[in-house]
A = this chain, B = another copy of it.
Amino acid sequence: MGEPVGPAQDEPQIDWRRLEEVQLTPILSASLDAFYELGYHGTTVREVARRVGVTVPALYYHHENKEGLLIALLELSTADVLARAHAADADGGDDPVQRLANVVEAIVLRMTTRPRLASLEGEVRYLSAENRQRYRAVRKGIEEVVLQIVEAGAESGAFDVDDPAEITRAILGMCQSIPRWYHAEGTLSPQEVARKYVAIAMKIVGAK
Contacts and interface: CB of A to CB of B under 8 A. Distances in A.
Interface on chain A toward B: helix, strand, loop, or mixed SS? Answer: helix
Contacts of A203: 203-204, 206
> On chain A, which size bracket covers the interface?
20 to 34
Given A173-B177, A177-B177, A204-B204, A166 B196 contact: yes
Interface stretch (A2-10, A37-45, A71-79, A85-93): A37-45
Contacts of A158: none
A122 B126 CA distance: 13
A203 B206 CA distance: 7
A200 interface: yes
Interface of A: 38-43, 119, 121-123, 125-126, 163, 166-167, 169-178, 180-181, 196-197, 200, 203-204, 206
